[in-house]
């Protein structure tokens, strides 16, 4: 991919061992041992990744400076920067794994603000709250999220999600 430029096209072939493998995937939509073929047009290339930039700032100056950096970049429209829900979520989990729970929560909060209709963003924020022992913080967010996605095909019950988070948080508090 690094040899491609804006305007280029490519065909990417992914063998089963690097794709879904012998199990197949996507609820049966991808057959077992399928060779995946992607036709790609390069529309844009970004010079930097937001999550990597923020991690660097967190490691050198702390989470507060990283949040200021995020606000500054957001105000300028994230110029020439790749912004990804998945990468930001990965940054949050990286912080969580290295016991920087408060910083992880702040990154997950940014992700929820940036992607308010993403179940994954809310779930990750809830996990961070639960692992930090904060039992009530994610519940209003989770309820609002569940109600918003109820309009689509996914139909979680807000009460069930709240109960699950309460039990996770209670477990985290008693460990």
**pLDDT tens digits, 64-97:** 999 999 999 999 999 989 999 999 999 999 999 9
- pLDDT for residue 163: 62
What gap in Å lies between CA 39 and CA 50, rounded to an integer? 26
Mean pLDDT calculated for residue range 14-18 = 94
pLDDT digits (tens, 9 = 90+) for 154-172: 445 556 556 655 555 444 4
- pLDDT for residue 54: 97
- What residue spans define the domains of the chain? 9-41, 48-174
Q: Is the pLDDT of residue 149 over 80?
A: no
Q: Which of 5-9, 15-19, 65-69, 72-76 is least confident?
A: 5-9
Give kind and range of the element (H or E) at residue 172: helix 158-174
Mean pLDDT calculated for residue range 119-140 = 76
- pLDDT for residue 135: 58
Compute the 3-state secondary structure of the chain and give helix, strand, coil in percent, each to the nearest 5: 55, 10, 35
What's the predicted TM-score (pTM) here? 0.63
**Short-list 34, 12, 15, 38, CA closest to 25:** 34
Residues in the chain, total: 175
Top pLDDT among 66 and 146 is at 66
Q: What is the dihedral of CA 28, 33, 37, 43, to 10 degrees?
A: 70
SS3 label, residue 49: strand
Q: Is the pLDDT of residue 122 over 90?
A: no
Q: Is the pLDDT of residue 55 over 60?
A: yes
Give kind and range of the element (H or E) at residue 74: helix 63-75
Looking at the chain, the whole-number percentage of residues with pLDDT higher than 70 is 75
Place of tokens 């702390």: 62
What's the sign of the alpha-carbon dihedral 146, 147, 148, 151?
positive
Q: Which fold does the domain 48-174 belong to in CATH? A: 1.25.40
The per-residue pLDDT of the chain, averaged, comes to: 82
Q: Which of 24-33, 35-44, 159-168 is least confident?
A: 159-168
**Short-list 96, 166, 49, CA closest to 174:** 166
- pLDDT for residue 59: 97
- pLDDT for residue 3: 81
């Amino acid at each position: 991919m690094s040899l491609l430029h804006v305007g280029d096209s490519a065909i990417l072939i992914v063998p089963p061992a690097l794709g879904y493998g012998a199990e197949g995937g996507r609820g049966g939509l991808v057959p077992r041992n399928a060779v995946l073929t992607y036709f790609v047009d390069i529309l844009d290339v970004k010079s930097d990744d937001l999550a990597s930039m923020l991690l660097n700032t967190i490691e050198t100056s702390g989470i507060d400076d990283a949040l200021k950096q995020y606000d500054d970049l957001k105000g300028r429209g994230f110029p020439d920067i790749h912004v990804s829900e998945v990468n930001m979520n990965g940054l949050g989990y990286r912080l969580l794994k290295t016991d920087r729970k408060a910083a992880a929560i702040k990154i997950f909060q940014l992700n929820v603000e940036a992607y308010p209709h993403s179940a994954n963003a809310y779930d990750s924020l809830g996990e961070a709250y639960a692992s930090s022992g904060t039992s009530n913080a994610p519940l209003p967010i989770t309820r609002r999220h569940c109600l918003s996605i109820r309009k689509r095909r996914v139909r979680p019950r807000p009460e069930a999600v709240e109960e699950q988070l309460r039990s996770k948080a209670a477990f985290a508090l008693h460990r």
